[in-house]
Structure 1
């Protein structure tokens, strides 16, 4: 359905879905926050009026109290609180630094991340680290939980997650609760399958770690990739 055929109250949300958040005007963003307008005005019209009262300045809008916002016809306590809450979230976000993504340059770096999840377990689990082209970590995920001595991974799920996060590199890992660092035949087979699938999808398997309580084996370091 074309946007022009939608009711005006529905347009900002539909526009968000069709064209993305950057396509929305300030009044459309505020209209989505409020959810609805008044009996006489659509949400967009009410939003325009509210923003015009503060010279279309978000900072000035954030200075209005709940009572100030409720002076506008169609803005009750719930809408006023929704507006104030959204502005407070924006304020807190602006005050926070973007966290630095860790970079993996060796098997030790990967181990230091994964040991927090795998070193003390009594059953096997399979985890993966997903990286971008700069080898920065963009996502970490648990793929499976197994029994006492095995945890089988579904390669389709592994690469779906990689695609969802636009990953160009993967490090896979599982633990051996027995403390044995030697790869099993199954470990070698799954490593080869992941590597081959990654070659097809242009997503490189960078390493496979076997983790025990106090140490690890790296397939890359051992020349097993």
Structure 2
């Protein structure tokens, strides 16, 4: 069954045009993206089954893979591509709305800036923020993607960017896709090595943040730096 086979009052597209996008339920939004159901099943039922993939809410949608989506009967490459494109479009809109902070004044200001960029990612990413003498952000760079450990995040890679941009200090951050704020043994070891290298180079590490969807942990505030 396709959307045009539904009564006009039940069609998500007509409802959106009549009442606005905010009037649609999550199921209706997904149904509108899917466009059609599968054999013997309406698109609204298919959308409901897709939504069941995310018991924790739509926030989990950002971590979905094509493999998992296409495990849903009725979701093939075309429907999967539309859903993933919609997720990426939403993420890009959110990132464009983030103003670059003039000053890095607190862990919360860093969290507000970086959360929309990295908190939703399925893999760990390690970000370096280069600051000038006034604490203003002059450059940011992702130097690693994957599990954060000493073999992947080397102080040399961290400070190449800092030296090139003549940073007075740096702040580093990485996400925890698991949602836990507890620093791992590797997190602590990497932080210690970066801190020691920064002291030698005269480019101090001001903080290291662990970022999740719901909160952040500051190594400095926890006395770990």
Q: Which residue of 1 aligns with 2:129?
A: 129
Q: Is the 8 A contact 1:101 1:138 kept in 2?
A: no
CA shift, 1:116, in A, is 2.3
Change (3 A) 1:156 1:150: closer
Which runs of at least 4 in structure 1 moved beyond 4 Å after TM superposition? none
Change (3 A) 1:143 1:133: same
CA shift, 1:108, in A, is 0.7
The root-mean-square deviation of aligned C-alpha atoms, in Å, is 1.7
Q: Which residue of 2 aligns with 1:206?
A: 206
Q: Which SS does the other structure have where 1:133 is aligned?
A: coil
CA shift, 1:101, in A, is 6.0
Change (3 A) 1:215 1:196: same
Is 1:169 aligned to 2:169, yes or no? yes
Please give the TM-score of this superposition, normalised by the length of structure 1: 0.53
Please give the TM-score of this superposition, normalised by the length of structure 2: 0.53
CA distance in 2, matches of 1:108, 1:100: 14
Q: Which SS does the other structure have where 2:213 is aligned?
A: coil
Flag the structure with larger Rg.
1
**CA deviation vs aligned residue, 1:59-99 (integer Å, no higher than 9, x gap):** xxxxxxxxxxxxxxxxxxxxxxxxxxxxxxxxxxxxxxxx9
Q: Which residue of 2 aligns with 1:155?
A: 155
Q: Which SS does the other structure have where 1:189 is aligned?
A: helix
Q: Is the 8 A contact 1:131 1:167 kept in 2?
A: yes
Greater Cα offset, 201-210 or 112-121 = 112-121
The aligned runs of 1:1-225 (5 Å cut-off) are 102-146=102-146, 149-150=147-148, 152-225=152-225
CA shift, 1:158, in A, is 1.1
Q: Is the 8 A contact 1:174 1:209 kept in 2?
A: yes
Unaligned residue ranges in structure 1 (runs of 5+): 1-98
CA distance in 2, matches of 1:117, 1:198: 25
Unaligned residue ranges in structure 2 (runs of 5+): 1-98
Question: How many equivalent residue pairs?
Answer: 125
CA shift, 1:111, in A, is 1.1
Q: Is the 8 A contact 2:126 2:173 kept in 1?
A: yes
CA distance in 2, matches of 1:186, 1:127: 16
